[in-house]
Amino acid sequence: MSLTLFIPGLLSPPETVAGEKPRLPAAEKWLARADVSREAGSDDAWLLRQWGLGADAPMAALSLAGEGLPSTGRWLRADPIHQQVIRHATLLHGDWALGLTRDEADRAIAALNQFFKADGLAFQAPHPGRWYVAIGDREPPRTTPLAQLAGANPFGHLPEGDERAFWRRVFGEAQMLLNQLPLNVEREAQGRATLNGVWLWGGGELPASLPRPFTRIYANTPLARGLAAVSKADVCPLPSAISDLAAEEGDALVVLDGLEAPGLAANAATWQQIAHELDVAWFSGLSDAIRAHGEITVALPADSDTPVFAVTTAARWRFLRRRRPLPDYA
């Protein structure tokens, strides 16, 4: 069986770490020995391309399917956000800065559903930091994924399309509604970021079917699990190390997403800790994994595309290749 490791965030350490060029010895060794190409799309865009999907993919419906919930009809992600006002600028942060509790999410969802019921919108939060809204027969707007706007000004990226006036009204009214919730008084008293909006993105309907580029997918992320479900691939929980993967027939994908949240939050210490754990668990055992699985593909999204490293049997003998810090591949 062939094996692909998809590791978003590994080439993009937070700035305080990037200045130090974090060194991951096992990863550096194997990437230096690999055959490297670059493919279009970064982060989720690369992942979607494996299923033949583009920028208009119904991310909300796919992710909801990956949550194990009914996802028929039209959906948008409606993720909780904190809009930080600094001087004359507004900076956007997602749940990586909020860290909402289950109770806080439930209280906010109840308020949204009561307020927007007349508009035919129905919100739900299967996870405190991942929210969705069923939009009935409304046309999904053109949107920008939340992760692309981390720490950026959201204005200029509000929903577009034939019903943009409606969706911008929803954005503004949700901001006013959530900002007034009593839970924000509690959060401010605790020195925590306030919940003051939802970010709408990733609209559409679940595809009836998708091609199956992988027969087995190991992932915790809802998007990857949703893609697996629609394409009729086996969905498995993420193992703790590459040595825990059984060599089976077919093509397998492993999505290692642990670096995304600390990267978005610019939490250098947590990023460094997770990166070193990943180096030990997933790269130090690559020699044995090559024997078990044959060629191993490592996809590491960069800013605008994705470097793809083919680690073959020949890589085990390329001793003289010079190792480079991982950010140099970005």
- SS3 per-residue string spanning the chain: CEEEEECCCCCCCCHHHHCCCCCCHHHHHHHHHCEEEEEECCCHHHHHHCCCCCCCCCHHHHHHHHCCCCCCCEEEEEEECEEEEECCEEEEECHHHHCCCHHHHHHHHHHHHHHHHHHCCEEEEEECCEEEEECCCCCCCECCCHHHHCCCCCCCCCCECCCHHHHHHHHHHHHHHHHCCHHHHHHHHCCCCCCCCEEEEEEEECCCCCCCCCCEEECCCHHHHHHHHHCCCEEECCCCCHHHCCCCCCEEEEECCCCHHHHHCCCHHHHHHHHHHHHHHHHCCHHHHHHHHCCEEEECCCCCEEEEEEECHHHHHCCCCCCCCHHHHC
Q: What is the pLDDT of residues 43-82, one digit of tens each?
A: 899 999 999 999 899 999 999 999 999 889 999 999 999 9
Q: Which fold has domain 2-53+210-329?
A: Alkaline Phosphatase, subunit A (3.40.720)
User: What is the structure's pLDDT at 221?
Assistant: 96
User: What is the structure's pLDDT at 249?
Assistant: 66
User: What is the structure's pLDDT at 289?
Assistant: 84
pLDDT level of residue 17 (50, 70, 90 thresholds): low
Q: What is the pLDDT of residues 135-168, one digit of tens each?
A: 999 999 999 999 999 889 988 899 999 999 999 9
User: What is the structure's pLDDT at 96?
Assistant: 93
User: What is the structure's pLDDT at 141?
Assistant: 96
User: What is the structure's pLDDT at 65?
Assistant: 96
User: What is the structure's pLDDT at 81?
Assistant: 97
Q: What is the pLDDT of residues 244-292, one digit of tens each?
A: 987 776 799 999 999 999 999 889 999 999 999 999 999 998 888 888 7
User: What is the structure's pLDDT at 71?
Assistant: 87
User: What residue spans define the domains of the chain?
Assistant: 2-53+210-329, 59-205
- The per-residue b/e assignment along 207-246, b for 16 or more CB within 10 angstroms, e otherwise, is beebebbbbbbbbebbbbbbbbbbbebebbebeeebeebe
Site of tokens 């990586």: 96
Between 86 and 250, residue with greater pLDDT: 86
What span, in angstroms and rounded, lies between the C-alpha atoms of 29 and 25?
A: 6
pLDDT level of residue 18 (50, 70, 90 thresholds): low
Q: What would the mean pLDDT of 9-28 be, rounded to a whole number?
A: 83
Mean pLDDT of the chain: 92
Q: What is the pLDDT of residues 199-213, one digit of tens each?
A: 999 999 999 999 999
Q: What is the pLDDT of residues 105-115, one digit of tens each?
A: 999 999 999 99
